[in-house]
């Protein structure tokens, strides 16, 4: 570790770099976190982990909690509406020795937010205080990923940010939209800048960063400690290396896809790994000319050797 490269700290944990892969359910599993760390993402967040699943030892849990050393520093993200269950889940997760514990205050899915979890907690600031107080003795830094509020009439992000800081939170990542907005409209970077000015703990800006120009604009505009990228990073790990994907030769994109695919197959097994890789493949190939029937063949094929053969045919067309 080179201390000169440290951009900020999360509690005692130094973070080397300011570009960070956002947590994404169904995308940022262990193989993709590992890949993006290699490409320069400064740390990793797991997909959200439902505290209820931890308590009931759901069979889905194992792959969601598994990680490799390469992904560190790692934040395990918990999601729930009940402070006691979150505490129990946090104690379980602690045994896995992540560097950081993150709490999700941003998920806008109806099934989550309407039961008061994720962005639903933004309507109950006192519960947020309670969660951080309960976790204050857990022995690892606890962070928050928030939205700006429930809807346009309750954009209470400054109150929420202060509560997080006052109750021991060590970092705030902010998606600049309300729950009501889901993914519509534009992320409000002014609001992110206001949060950065209002608290002393590090703030990471998130929302609508799609390319290298956006990264620079987000840095300049918000003065945040880090820039978090979600959708713009699907099929584009190069964004973390500061390289425009359009300048990457097709063969190199293919080579990266094969490494990623191999890791997926190792991690999930042949059938499941290939199925889960399909959405990544689609995103990697966005800049390619792909005949619709070839794309269809690729995205329905269920055998790795055939998949690689089809990729090679696509590559030939794109030379
Ligand atoms: C497919 C998908 C899954 C997501 N899953 C999570 C999640 O598990 N936890 C979380 O905090 N945010 C999740 N998000 C929100 C992103 O982390 C991010 O805040 C949002 O997409 C805005 O960033 P962007 O404009 O760079 O995409 C998800 C977003 C997408 C598109």
Q: Give me the DSSP letters along 74-125.
A: EEEEEE-S-HHHHHHHHHHHHTT--SEEEEEE----HHHHTTT-GGGGGG-H
Q: Note the pLDDT of residue 190.
A: 98
C-alpha 14 to ligand 1 mean position (Å): 24
- Distance (Å, rounded) from C-alpha 260 to C-alpha 285? 14
The answer to whether residue 4 scores a pLDDT higher than 90 is no
C-alpha 19 to ligand 1 mean position (Å): 15
Give the residue numbers spanning the domain of 274: 249-317
One domain, residues 276 and 150: no
Lowest mean pLDDT among 7-21, 205-219, 222-236, 297-311: 297-311
One domain, residues 206 and 255: no
Nearest to 279 by CA among 319, 231, 243, 239: 231
**pLDDT tens sequence across 241-261:** 999 999 999 999 999 999 999
Residue 305's CATH number: 1.10.1200
Boundary residue ending a domain (198, 224, 245): 245
Q: Which residue's CA is the closest to the ligand 1 atom numbered 19?
A: 175
One domain, residues 147 and 53: yes
Dihedral of CA 105/208/154/108: which sign?
negative
Residue 11's CATH number: 3.20.20.70
Q: Name the pLDDT band for 197 (thresholds 50, 70, 90).
A: very high
Mean pLDDT value of segment 29-46: 98
Atom of ligand 1 nearest to the CA of 27: 1
Q: Are 28 and 46 in contact (CB under 8 A)?
A: yes
Atom of ligand 1 nearest to the CA of 147: 19
Q: Which residue's CA is the closest to the ligand 1 atom numbered 14?
A: 24
One domain, residues 233 and 303: no
The answer to whether residue 2 scores a pLDDT higher than 90 is no
One domain, residues 262 and 234: no
Q: Note the pLDDT of residue 319.
A: 74
Q: Name the pLDDT band for 206 (thresholds 50, 70, 90).
A: very high
Mean pLDDT value of segment 172-185: 98
The answer to whether residue 316 scores a pLDDT higher than 90 is no
The answer to whether residue 3 scores a pLDDT higher than 80 is no
Atom of ligand 1 nearest to the CA of 231: 27
One domain, residues 142 and 254: no
**pLDDT tens sequence across 126-172:** 999 999 999 999 999 999 999 999 999 999 999 999 999 999 999 99
Annotated active-site positions, please? 107
Mean pLDDT value of segment 217-232: 98
Mean pLDDT value of segment 278-307: 93
pTM: 0.97
Could you identify the residue written with the tokens 């990544």?
280
Average pLDDT, the chain: 96
Alpha-carbon separation of residue 68 from 64, 197, 242, 259, 264 (angstroms): 12, 35, 24, 16, 13
Could you identify the residue written with the tokens 């490799």?
68
- Distance (Å, rounded) from C-alpha 117 to C-alpha 245? 36
Q: Name the pLDDT band for 287 (thresholds 50, 70, 90).
A: confident
One domain, residues 195 and 285: no
């Amino acid at each position: 570790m080179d201390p000169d490269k440290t951009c900020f700290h999360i509690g005692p944990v130094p973070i080397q770099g300011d570009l960070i892969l956002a947590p994404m359910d169904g995308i940022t599993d262990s193989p993709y976190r590992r890949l993006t760390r290699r490409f320069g993402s400064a740390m990793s967040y797991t997909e959200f982990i439902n505290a209820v699943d931890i308590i009931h030892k759901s069979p889905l849990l194992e792959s969601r909690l598994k990680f490799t050393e390469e992904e560190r520093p790692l934040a395990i993200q918990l999601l729930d509406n009940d402070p006691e269950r979150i505490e129990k889940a946090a104690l379980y997760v602690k045994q896995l020795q992540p560097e950081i514990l993150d709490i999700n205050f941003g998920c806008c899915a109806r099934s989550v937010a309407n039961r008061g979890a994720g962005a639903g907690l933004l309507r109950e600031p006192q519960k947020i205080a309670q969660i951080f107080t309960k976790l204050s003795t857990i022995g690892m830094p606890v962070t928050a990923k928030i939205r700006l509020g429930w809807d346009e009439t309750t954009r209470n992000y400054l109150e929420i940010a202060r509560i997080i800081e006052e109750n021991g939170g060590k970092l705030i990542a902010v998606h600049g939209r309300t729950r009501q907005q889901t993914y519509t409209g534009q992320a409000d970077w002014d609001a992110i800048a206001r949060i950065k000015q209002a608290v002393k703990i590090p703030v990471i800006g998130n929302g609508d960063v799609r390319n290298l120009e956006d990264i620079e604009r987000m840095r300049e505009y918000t003065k945040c400690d880090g820039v978090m990228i979600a959708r713009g990073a699907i099929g584009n790990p190069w964004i973390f290396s500061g390289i425009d994907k359009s300048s990457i030769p097709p063969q190199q994109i293919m080579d990266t896809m094969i490494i990623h695919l191999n890791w997926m197959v190792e991690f999930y097994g042949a059938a499941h790994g290939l199925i889960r890789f399909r959405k990544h493949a689609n995103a990697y190939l966005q800049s390619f000319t792909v005949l619709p029937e070839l794309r269809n063949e690729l995205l329905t094929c269920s055998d790795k050797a055939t998949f690689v053969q089809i990729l090679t045919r696509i590559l030939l067309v794109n030379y």
